[in-house]
Amino acid sequence: MPSAAVTPVTPPTTYRALLRNREFAGLYAGFALGVAASTLSGFALGTLVDRETGSPLLTAVSMYGATFATVIGATTLMSVADGSRPRRTLLLLQSVSLAGVAAQAFPGLPLAVRFGLLLVLGFFQSLGTGTRMGLVTALLPASAYALARSLMNITAGCTAVASYAAGGLLLRSSTPGDLFAVATALTGAGLLVVATTLRERPIRLARRPGPRQTWTTNTALFAHPGRRALLLNLWVPNGLIVGCEALFISYAPDRAGVLLAAGAAGMLLGDLTVGRLLTAARRERAAFPLRLLLAAPYLLFAVHPPVPVLTAAVFLAGAGFAATLPLQERLLALTPAPVRGQVQGVESAGRLACQGVAAAVAGGLAQYVAPAVAITALAALSVTVTVASRRFVARVSRPHPRPPAEA
């Protein structure tokens, strides 16, 4: 049945106006708590694995391994984002996340079990992302989409900065298990917020969700060369830089928290500037320079400058993550309303999966060469992909192609 989108008379133009929508405010608060929980649990697991194994590969995979399972979610059951009751689905998925994070808090849990939990959580989190973003497009008008994504990205950056800082301080006097306990409490709070603020909404997709419906929509998504170019640029340059970040613990164990926080702070600045201050046309023009900014500062790792210089470089590079905003905005414009939840879920899952693959590649490479060399190589590859694909992205950005038929 058709979606019952709530469209304000005057589209929101500020973050405060967005948060006057009670349901969006609840969805946003649940998202923020989830980011805090995920950041803390990832930092805790990465620290625990590094202490137990000393392996850059296993440490990188432990921090980003959940992203591998997002591909499974994107290719099998992502249609639940549009073809089931969104509130009920989101609460169920968040309940599974709560159980998984709580299980990580058990002391003495074998690493094989911890990695298994990562994969399970990644699968369900990918479905949760698609459901959540489908709800965003139902709660807000299309003109507010970039503003909403900007607010959520800024919140993710702020929350990551605070979580990494808090995690680093807590680990001075406590154990990774204590961080898992805090992450469990935050996940439970996010579940409660969503349960008390969000109301059920109609199903957007008339057909029954399942693997067949997921594959049908995904086939239509990748059939269009313009959408493929957008997805390539949303996934690969971004993922390669996250691979660089995955080596911070191996590169400078005592300064990793500072470097991670600097990257998150830069992402905050970039999303605030691009999402709040730039018009849609300027956002589109800024996409290419931002993708270059995302990777170029990491080339400094090749000359081993002082940590303060690297911190400033990582901060500047973090602003380049804002390139996702104009690309996501364009992808949404090419997507029919009944499948927007699934398409956004696939976009997010692919981006996270590329981050996981890049983290694994970076960790594997750092087994044979110095972490600084691996970081430089991944950054150079990110720049190369951005430059080589520029004309394909420009082609889809103008003129505007006709949206695809509904899958």
Reported as a single tens digit per residue, the pLDDT across 139-178 is: 888 778 888 888 888 887 788 778 878 888 888 888 888 8
pLDDT at 406: 42
Q: Please count the other Cβ atoms lying within 10 Å of the Cβ belonging to residue 225.
A: 12
Helix axes 86-104, 111-139, angle to 10 degrees: 150
Report the C-alpha gap between 26 and 94 in whole angstroms: 14
pLDDT at 136: 85
Position 19: which residue type?
Answer: L
Task: Scan for tokens 């104009």, then name that residue.
Answer: 326
Q: Which helix (H) or strand (E) holds 339?
A: none
> pLDDT 10s digit of each residue in the chain, 407 long?
344 444 444 566 788 888 999 999 999 999 999 989 988 888 888 888 888 888 877 887 777 667 667 777 666 666 665 656 788 888 988 898 899 999 998 888 888 898 888 888 877 777 787 788 888 888 888 778 888 888 888 887 788 778 878 888 888 888 888 899 999 999 999 999 999 998 887 655 555 555 666 667 667 777 777 788 888 889 999 999 999 998 998 888 888 888 988 988 898 889 888 888 888 888 888 999 999 999 999 999 999 999 899 999 999 999 999 999 899 888 888 777 777 777 777 787 778 778 878 888 898 898 899 999 999 999 999 999 999 988 888 777 554 444 444 43
Q: Where does residue 88 rank: exposed (0-12), middle (13-18), buried (19+ CB within 10 A)?
A: exposed
The residue among 364, 382, 237, 372 whose CA lies nearest residue 307 is 372
Query: Would you say 48 and 327 are in contact if contact means Cβ atoms under 8 Å apart?
Result: no
Tally DSSP H helices, then E strands, for the chain. 19, 0
Query: Would you say 372 and 37 are in contact if contact means Cβ atoms under 8 Å apart?
Result: no
DSSP secondary structure, 226-252, as one string:
HHHHHHHHHHHHHHHHHHHHTTHHHH-
The residue among 294, 311, 320 whose CA lies nearest residue 380 is 294
Helix axes 145-173, 111-139, angle to 10 degrees: 150
The residue among 29, 392, 43 whose CA lies nearest residue 224 is 392
Query: Would you say 200 and 62 are in contact if contact means Cβ atoms under 8 Å apart?
Result: no
pLDDT at 56: 78
Q: Could you say which DSSP state residue 335 is in?
A: S
Query: Would you say 61 and 112 are in contact if contact means Cβ atoms under 8 Å apart?
Result: no
Q: Could you say which DSSP state residue 69 is in?
A: G
- Which tens digit of pLDDT belongs to each residue from 238-252? 999 999 998 998 888
What's the pTM? 0.69
pLDDT at 292: 95
